[in-house]
């Protein structure tokens, strides 16, 4: 898949009013600060398209990006951020699970897992939930550039042992763009 155009489309704070044009949606989910927005910018080769931050909890809305005029990349708020209040966390949780459960346009969920902490309970729960909802999902191990060689092998073994339902597992560095071609090819397969 070759991305020729990538534009911010719209942000939504609820499931009401999401686009109804039937374009397939590729959704990026994962813990807060795992690198979802950075991955999106790296894939689209557009720095600053999605807002990133070293502080968790940056993305607070459902953000739609129109890709090549024929599909959407969707950037979601992260889960597992302890510092937001309980009420806010619950409302994000409901938005996230409601979106994944109800949105029939979802063609693929890309679940981002921090390669330094593979196999966390919250990520395993998300995999179970995606499977329960019948959503095809693949895994991206983020921040791959931060790992030493021995850690890389260990991270792969750990994620492979707990992600048997994943359609693919890609090691990714948004800094260098390594993993980009492989991930774009996988996305292509699911967005037809
Ligand atoms: N070294 C390295 N840093 C990364 C990579 N991807 C993301 N980061 C950094 O991780 C931090 C969080 O990145 P974001 O893309 O904002 O994470 P997010 O998942 O969108 O976070 P929320 O919107 O808060 O849920 C930023 O400081 C990024 O620069 C990567 O591949 N390598
Ligand atoms: Mg974000």
Contact by Cβ (8 Å): 27, 51: no
50 secondary structure, DSSP code? S
- Residue 150 Cα to ligand 1 midpoint, Å, equals 23
Describe the chain by its helix, strand, coil percentages, rounded to 5. Answer: 35, 25, 45
* CA-nearest residue, atom 12 of ligand 1: 33
* Position 151 in a domain: yes
* Position 71 in a domain: yes
Mapped onto helix, strand or coil, the DSSP state of residue 190 is: helix
* Position 1 in a domain: no
* Position 104 in a domain: yes
79 secondary structure, DSSP code? B
The domain that holds 155 is classified in CATH as 3.40.50.300
The pLDDT profile of the chain, 192 residues, written as one tens digit per residue, is 899 999 999 999 889 999 999 999 999 999 989 999 999 999 999 989 988 888 777 667 899 999 999 999 999 888 876 666 777 777 778 888 999 999 999 999 999 999 999 999 999 999 999 999 999 999 999 999 999 999 999 999 999 999 999 999 999 999 999 999 999 999 999 987
- Residue 87 Cα to ligand 1 midpoint, Å, equals 25
* Position 146 in a domain: yes
Domain span at 25? 6-190
* Position 97 in a domain: yes
Q: Which residues pair with 190 in a beta bridge?
A: none
Ligand 1 proximity of 191 Cβ (cutoff 6 Å): no
pTM score, two decimals?
0.94
Residue among 53, 59, 73, 180 to mutate when testing ligand 1 (max atoms within 8 A of CB) = 53
* Position 130 in a domain: yes
Ligand 1 proximity of 63 Cβ (cutoff 6 Å): no
Give residues with Cβ within 8 angstroms of 15, minimum separation 6.
95, 98, 99, 102, 103
- Residue 36 Cα to ligand 1 midpoint, Å, equals 7
Tell me how many domains the chain contains. Answer: 1
Task: Estimate to the nearest angstrom the gap between the alpha carbon of 74 and the chain centroid.
Answer: 8
Report the pLDDT value the prediction gives residue 76, as an integer from 0 to 100. Answer: 87
Which tokens hold the place of 145?
């550039």
Q: How many CB atoms lie within 10 A of CB 25?
A: 20
- Residue 45 Cα to ligand 2 midpoint, Å, equals 16
* Position 41 in a domain: yes
């Amino acid at each position: 898949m070759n991305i020729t155009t990538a534009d911010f489309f719209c942000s939504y704070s609820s499931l009401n009013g999401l686009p109804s044009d039937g374009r397939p949606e590729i959704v990026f989910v994962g813990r807060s600060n795992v690198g979802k927005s950075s991955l999106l910018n790296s894939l689209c080769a557009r720095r600053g398209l999605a807002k990133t931050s070293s502080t968790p909890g940056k993305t607070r809305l459902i953000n739609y990006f129109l890709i090549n005029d024929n599909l959407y990349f969707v950037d979601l708020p992260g889960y597992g951020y302890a510092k937001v209040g309980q009420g806010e966390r619950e409302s994000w949780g409901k938005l996230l699970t409601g979106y994944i459960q109800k949105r029939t346009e979802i063609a693929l969920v890309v679940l981002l897992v921090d390669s330094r902490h593979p196999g966390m309970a919250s990520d395993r729960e998300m995999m179970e939930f995606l499977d329960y909802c019948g959503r095809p999902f693949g895994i991206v191990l983020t921040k791959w550039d931060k790992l030493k060689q021995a850690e890389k092998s260990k991270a792969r073994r750990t994620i492979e042992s707990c992600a048997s339902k994943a359609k693919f597992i890609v090691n990714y560095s948004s800094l260098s763009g390594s993993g980009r071609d492989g991930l774009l090819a996988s996305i292509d397969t699911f967005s037809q």
